[in-house]
Structure 1
């Protein structure tokens, strides 16, 4: 019989992590385990208030699946009985990990994927004043890809990007507004950012208002994050965005994330695989999805004061596939 556990963990962030919606100094995650025959699979998720999630409700939702898990519920069945989101992500990834252990095979092989390789991840700079972001960029100037958290548009965000470009003249720049801009900001800022060599603009306007992007000829590609969750609604994104940001907490686990990536490619949408601020246990399954991504943003553990052990191996901006002691 399979047994479930779920617990809340808190991991301090190095300094603070600030986006247009606010700041936090710790990453609160939920870790789910599924055990069978003396073996245990683990999965980690990040409940996100933006999607009306909190840690206690996620723990309760995971534990509520104990009867079905005991009866041998498969990952395919899990997709049908739980809504996508953080709780399903933790359980889905725990089941992948357990299945790999029970089969004595790596998760990538069970998924029918090629052996994973090391990938270059973006490194995120928190929202701050232009001067502070320039200093952060100078410290991170050797990172090949920098992702900038921006504010509410206008001259302030332009000044931030100009400051970062000055501090990191050779880095690829991705900017992320986290829904903070007004529709009228998109084209003027995109034109300025093109001049500054920005490669991607992520979620410029609120998801509920993003129809305003249809038909806009932005000189910088646009990427859906808060507008892109799972397979439902993918068709609508065509014509609004050039990229989608696939995060396991949004898709409800690795199972749907892999399906979303396949669907995106069929619809000629390019892919970023991203993360919340979390430990290596959350990044490990995302590494399998990220093998097929155009951009990888799996720097969550690099933003923490301390990661869990065992952890992923990071060498500068290069992140290596998980060892089986960690996951999969």
Structure 2
């Protein structure tokens, strides 16, 4: 029997942030996302991707990549076929997640039930991010988060010791993730080991530039180190330096939930711990990532919390715990 025809639409949305988001590479005031809708037989599947300039992506390039495969997608291409049609990245992520949503809507079940996850998903502790600023400003931001479970601190190489001390002084109890976003050298990494141990840092994320991280081969860090920019897909696992002990899996890097699930499986087989991360995005990006977060040691899915206004029915935060979107927000309700 022929597959009912599909129609695909893609558009750019610029979602203003409630406040600037600063990291070592620059500052954001809006989340520029590509939103996909695939309609078939009365159902509509949605997906969102966040093109990232660090990876050579733009809104224009993502939309062009989607348009290039529009005929194949509308003809009924499946998620597994999509892996060979489109490269990993934000464009494929948006399409893949829309296909997951569409399949769930047509089957009248949830994606999470399909994956064998219990629903409703329990609230998940997520990292709440302190963006890069002066130590005094970071101290003030940390004071507001002092009662949460997990804080992620954006630092650079200007004065990371002062930045970290300021945060820990204001928030003595939460677990800490430190994220230099590739801005450190081995000098900073080695020189800050004792301080990070004293400050009880739980995870250090991508301290070195991805192209210059060979120094981590054989490096015995006092703090577990997570690969972020250094790992996108399963293919990156083979050359990953041994100093990394955690993989930060993001749907936009992997190119969708399908590829991210495969990456998490292979990462576990190699003995790596798992972190689920995100870009600054709406809840439409976060809902699929919850399927990974349920089994991750670290969860960093606060992207929508930076928006001035999220999508209706999306995730919510209470006491540092991320609550799943409303039933049917993404993937049909059972």
TM-score range, shorter chain: over 0.9
Instruction: Tell me if structure 2 keeps the 8 A contact 1:191–1:220.
Output: no
Matched residue SS, 1:229: coil
Structure 2 distance, partners of 1:305, 1:267, is 40
In structure 2, distance between residues paired with 1:84 and 1:243: 20
TM-score scaled by length of structure 1: 0.97
* TM-superposition CA deviations, 1:235-287 (whole Å, max 9, x none): 32251301111000000000011111111111110011000011111100001
Match of 2:146 in 1: 141
Is 1:13 aligned to residue 17 of structure 2?
A: yes
Which TM-score applies when normalising by structure 2?
0.95
Which is worse superposed, 139-148 or 236-245?
Answer: 236-245
The runs of at least 4 consecutive aligned structure 1 residues that moved more than 6 Å come to none
Aligned position for 1:260: 263
1:117 aligns with 2:122: yes
1:226 and 2:229 matched: yes
Tell me, in whole angstroms, the C-alpha distance in 2 between the residues paired with 1:255 and 1:178.
Answer: 26
Identify which of 76, 79, 87 aligns with 1:72: 76
Aligned to 1:23, which of 22, 27, 34?
A: 27
CA deviation digits over 1:4-45, x for unaligned, max 9?
Answer: 111111111121000000001111111011110111000011
Structure 1 residues not aligned, in runs of 5+? none
Alignment-derived partner of residue 45 in structure 1: 49
- Residue 65 of structure 2 corresponds to which residue in structure 1? 61
Is residue 277 of structure 1 aligned with residue 280 of structure 2? yes
8 A Cα contact 2:213 2:241, kept in partner: no
Instruction: Tell me if structure 1 keeps the 8 A contact 2:175–2:201.
Output: yes
Task: Tell me the residue number matched to 2:106.
Answer: 102
- The answer to whether the Cα contact below 8 Å between 1:223 and 1:242 also exists between their aligned partners in 2 is yes
Alignment-derived partner of residue 206 in structure 2: 203
Q: Distance in 2 between matches of 1:271 and 1:325?
A: 27
Instruction: Check whether the contact 2:12–2:34 (CA below 8 A) recurs between aligned residues.
Output: yes
1:128 maps to which residue? 133
Aligned partner of 1:295 among 291, 295, 298: 298
Cα separation, 1, equivalents of 2:28 and 2:37: 26
Q: Work out whether residues 151 and 177 of structure 1, in 8 Å CA contact, stay in contact via their aligned partners in 2.
A: yes
**1:159-209 per-position Cα deviation (integer Å, ceiling 9, x unaligned):** 000000000000111100100001221111122111111111100000001
